[in-house]
Amino acid sequence: MDFCLSPKHAARQIEFREFADRELQPAGHTFPRDNLRKMAGRGYMGLPVPREWGGQGEDFFTYILLIEEISRICASTGVILAVHTSVGTFPLLYYGTQAQKERYLPGLARGELLGAFALSEAGAGSDAAALRTSARRIEEGYCINGGKVFITSGGEADLYTVFATLDQSLGSRGICAFLIEKGTPGLTVAPPEKKMGLHGSATTELQFTDLVVGADQLLGEEGKGFALAMSLLDGGRIGIAAQGLGLARASLEATAAYLASRLEKGDQVSQWARFTLADLFSRLEAARLLTYRAALLKEKGQPCSREAAMAKCFATDLAVEAAIRCIDLWPPDEYEGEYPLFRYFCDAKVTQIYEGTNQIQRLVISRDVLKTFHK
Amino acid sequence: MNFALTEEQEMTRKMVRDFAEKEVKPGAAERDENEHFSRELFDKMGQLGITGIPWPEEYGGAGSDFLSYVIAVEELSRVDASAGTTLSAHISLASWPIFKYGTEEQKKKYLEPMALGEKLGAFGLTEATAGTDAAAQRTTAVLDGDSYILNGNKIFITNAGEAEIYIIFAVTDKEKKARGISAFIVEKGTPGFSFGKKERKMGLRSSPTLELIFENCRVPKENLLGQEGEGFKIAMSTLDGGRNGIAAQAVGIAQGALEEAVAYAASREQFGQPIGNFQAISFMLADMATKIEAARLLTYQAAFLESQGLPYGKASAMAKLFASEAAMEITTNAVQIFGGYGYTKDYPVERFMRDAKITQIYEGTSEVQRLVISRYLLKG
């Protein structure tokens, strides 16, 4: 075992941290185009994409460090990056044809194109295989009808990976994945949802009305779409764990700095405040180790479903609790300008929900635990 | 970063698990019931080479690292927390200060037989009025010719009565307060050194906990450990590493409870199906498993840092705090999953729950850990 970051990872972590501190702004209520442009300028929109495809060729672990640091400053930017990379770019990289890769990958990796992922439907949330958006084979390719909900970067993205079923009676084996470009006739994007947090990230419904895509836009094989989506889950969850980690750090580091400044001024810091901080920082350290371990397993291609679920569940639960408890330690009137802890709390809540709710994570973990320890 | 154990660490785990399953587990419930300490088990640990895991071979050790040591404590505690604490107190509390602060002669005379498992060690710091406030020592040591004369009482001493070697703290200069405390190596059988009440405890019942009594007990001058006045520093630095051992105990206890709970949840049927099918149970198991992993990573990290010679005080306090709190919660939930059966002595989960409690208390209560951690965080 070695709990120290490699010199290369440590150097990149510092680079990401300094970049986020200096260059990024919290998104507010507008889509953070400036942040994304700056990240693209550094190659961060395609960090783990091979160099031959316009990316930086970094490992998955480095990408996780990036998500953590970005989310610490702006969780909206963090989720846009995570969705763009984990589920907007990786499926193309893993399953795309040469032609599909040539067409889209360099643009995505350089951040000229933004990727999105359309799986959830009104009647298919945690039960993703119950999706009803239909794909019908036609002469020109496929005709798609249906609707998606809660699509991150909806309306802002240039390329959507959309899941639809050829035949609902086939269940998950009837599902296909399609690459659908922004502006394709038949694609309608609803106005962004009004959300509790992540105000900078656009979340929309998508409607497909007799939308025609060529057969060359099918990603992977017919009927393999669900397996494709599932294969992305572990990586996606580790990304959200890193987002939770970044958010938890945002709350905790700000609060520790505030309390330390009180001490410096000669004020007392109550034992209760100290103990709260001690508990939360201990859990933060644990969340960090769980997340990094899952990321390393993923990078090495080892099974990591349980570890990814544990990291996601633990880190995102902490992100919410850290924000709530830090609010009590830091009176709003002590802060000049926008009070950030409300934002951290509101942003954090959804990390317990998307990429598999934490209830789904507990299902994944308990199934594995029952299997492992029951002889 | 690399989260895989080395081959040597894996071998240690396999060896200790095998020993724990075959030799420790079978009598654990009975020893608990009868408050019986088994010296035979400690002797066997010595034969296996785990009584001196982290010490160099020249002192009779296995030449391994602190991570292997915490793995051994974890594996023993997984079946019997009392066996875990015997080893933990022996290595972390009694052997460590000799290794760290002892003279060459002291190491040869005391560390070597302890590492070989020929002698058992104990650590006497706590007094009736000096618990969390450990600097408030009343035991005194007065230099008289070639020896110090010790007077006073120590309480709650793990391995007491059974151990041959004791690290004892006493005041040599009252004026200097914490800086007037010194550490001594005291052998069992020294005239004036006797044992008081054996505690009857809620948990860890097969690990003896006794009072130590010093009445004009003469300790040779050469048994001063470190310098005069260094005692408090020695005690505090010993406890920093000792916390890794307690964290490992907590992880082992929790792991033992989880495995019992999983087996029960998978086989116990109600409403026509295994209760593990119900989310009320399975989600509890998921949280238990996640917290154990988190606690284990924190514990291994602290032990890794110590092995590397890097600062580990904050990491070991975090590991001890998180792991012991998690162990209490996890063992309580294990009893809950067993329902009424869990409350009986027919199953081991009630023992795990009783054993878990002390991990939140000894070698610095959870409250002390929080204080230590917050000082690191706020630098004040």
In a domain, B300, yes or no: yes
Residue B350: pLDDT over 90 = yes
Residue A148's H or E segment, with its range, is strand A141-152
Q: How far apart are CA B4 and CA B299, in angstroms?
A: 14
Q: Which of A281, A363, A367, A373 to mutate to test the interface with B (most CBs of B within 10 A)?
A: A373
DSSP annotation string for B274-334: EGGGSHHHHHHHHHHHHHHHHHHHHHHHHHHHHHTT---HHHHHHHHHHHHHHHHHHHHHH
Q: How far apart are CA B246 and CA B360, in angstroms?
A: 9
The residue type of B24 is: V
Q: How far apart are CA A212 and CA A206, in angstroms?
A: 15
Per-chain mean pLDDT for chain A: 96
Out of B94, B120, B146, a domain closes at: B120
Residues B240 and B200 grouped into a single domain = no
* Contact state of A370 with B3 under an 8 Å Cβ cutoff: no
At residue A201, the 3 state secondary structure works out as coil
Q: What is the pLDDT of residues B222-238, one digit of tens each?
A: 999 999 999 999 999 99
Q: How far apart are CA A312 and CA B197, in angstroms?
A: 50
For residue A336, what pLDDT band results from cuts at 50, 70 and 90? Answer: low
The pLDDT of residue A374: 61
Residues B265 and B351 grouped into a single domain = yes
Q: What is the pLDDT of residues A311-333, one digit of tens each?
A: 999 999 999 999 999 998 987 67
Q: How far apart are CA A88 and CA A118, in angstroms?
A: 9
Q: Which of A1, A276, A277 to mutate to test the interface with B (most CBs of B within 10 A)?
A: A1
The pLDDT of residue A25: 95
Residue B352: pLDDT over 70 = yes
pTM of the model: 0.95
Out of B212, B229, B246, a domain closes at: B229
Residues B100 and B140 grouped into a single domain = no
Phi then psi dihedrals of residue A208, to 5 deg: -115, 115
Residues in chain A, total: 375
Give the gap in angstroms from C-alpha B324 to the nearest C-alpha of chain A: 12
Half-sphere exposure of A291 toward its Cβ, with a 13 Å CA cutoff?
32
Residues B69 and B87 grouped into a single domain = yes
Residue B58: pLDDT over 80 = yes
Residues B83 and B190 grouped into a single domain = no
Q: How far apart are CA B35 and CA A329, in angstroms?
A: 46
The pair of three-digit structure tokens given for residue A327, joined into one six-digit string: 């609010």
At residue B191, the 3 state secondary structure works out as coil
Phi then psi dihedrals of residue A163, to 5 deg: -105, 130
Torsion, Cα of B72, B74, B77, B82 (10° steps): 60
Out of B90, B120, B150, a domain closes at: B120
In a domain, B329, yes or no: yes
With beta carbons less than 8 A apart as the criterion, state whether B223 and B343 touch: no
Q: How far apart are CA B249 and CA A226, in angstroms?
A: 43
Residues B220 and B303 grouped into a single domain = no
Residues B321 and B191 grouped into a single domain = no
Residue A335: pLDDT over 70 = no
State the DSSP code for B195: E
Residues B250 and B373 grouped into a single domain = yes
* Contact state of B1 with A61 under an 8 Å Cβ cutoff: yes
With beta carbons less than 8 A apart as the criterion, state whether B262 and A373 touch: yes
Is residue A33 less than 8 Å (CB to CB) from chain B? no
With beta carbons less than 8 A apart as the criterion, state whether A249 and A75 touch: no
Residues B246 and B354 grouped into a single domain = yes
State the DSSP code for B360: G
The pLDDT of residue A330: 84
Longest dimension (CA), chain A: 77
Judging contacts by C-beta atoms under 8 Å, the chain B residues touching residue A3 are 1, 300-301, 304-305
The pair of three-digit structure tokens given for residue A214, joined into one six-digit string: 């060529």
With beta carbons less than 8 A apart as the criterion, state whether A116 and A157 touch: yes
Residues A283-301 have a mean pLDDT of 97
Pairing of strands A141-152, A134-138: antiparallel
In a domain, B177, yes or no: yes
Residues A11-19 have a mean pLDDT of 98
The pLDDT of residue A331: 77
With beta carbons less than 8 A apart as the criterion, state whether B125 and B134 touch: yes
In a domain, B41, yes or no: yes
In a domain, B1, yes or no: no
Q: How far apart are CA A288 and CA A280, in angstroms?
A: 12
Residues spanned by the domain of B160: 122-229
Query: Could you tell me the domains of chain A?
Result: 7-110 (1.10.540.10), 115-223 (2.40.110.10), 233-373 (1.20.140.10)
Q: What is the pLDDT of residues A24-62, one digit of tens each?
A: 999 999 999 999 999 999 999 999 999 999 999 999 999
The pLDDT of residue A356: 93
Find where tokens 């795990």 sit.
B352
Q: What is the CATH number of the domain that holds B239?
A: 1.20.140.10
Longest dimension (CA), chain B: 79
In a domain, B103, yes or no: yes
Residue A375: pLDDT over 80 = no
Residue A282: which of B287, B322, B379 has the nearest Cβ?
B322
Give the gap in angstroms from C-alpha A251 to the nearest C-alpha of chain B: 14
Q: How far apart are CA B242 and CA B364, in angstroms?
A: 10
Does A337 or A293 have the greater pLDDT score? A293
Burial B63-96 (b: 16+ CB within 10 A, else e): ebbbbbbbbbbbbbbbbbbbbbbbbbbbbbbbbb
* Contact state of A1 with B378 under an 8 Å Cβ cutoff: no
Residues B103 and B126 grouped into a single domain = no
Q: How far apart are CA B61 and CA B77, in angstroms?
A: 21
Residues B61 and B127 grouped into a single domain = no
Residues A109-130 have a mean pLDDT of 96
Find where tokens 């635990």 sit.
A369
Q: What is the CATH number of the domain that holds B67?
A: 1.10.540.10
The pLDDT of residue A372: 83
Q: How far apart are CA A306 and CA A188, in angstroms?
A: 37
Q: What is the pLDDT of residues B132-178, one digit of tens each?
A: 999 999 999 999 999 999 999 999 999 999 999 999 999 999 999 99
In a domain, B287, yes or no: yes
Domain count, chain B: 3
Q: How far apart are CA A330 and CA A235, in angstroms?
A: 35
Per-chain mean pLDDT for chain B: 97
Q: What is the CATH number of the domain that holds B180?
A: 2.40.110.10
Residues B185 and B210 grouped into a single domain = yes
Residues B317-325 have a mean pLDDT of 98
Find where tokens 């544990």 sit.
A310
Residues A132-156 have a mean pLDDT of 97
In a domain, B2, yes or no: no
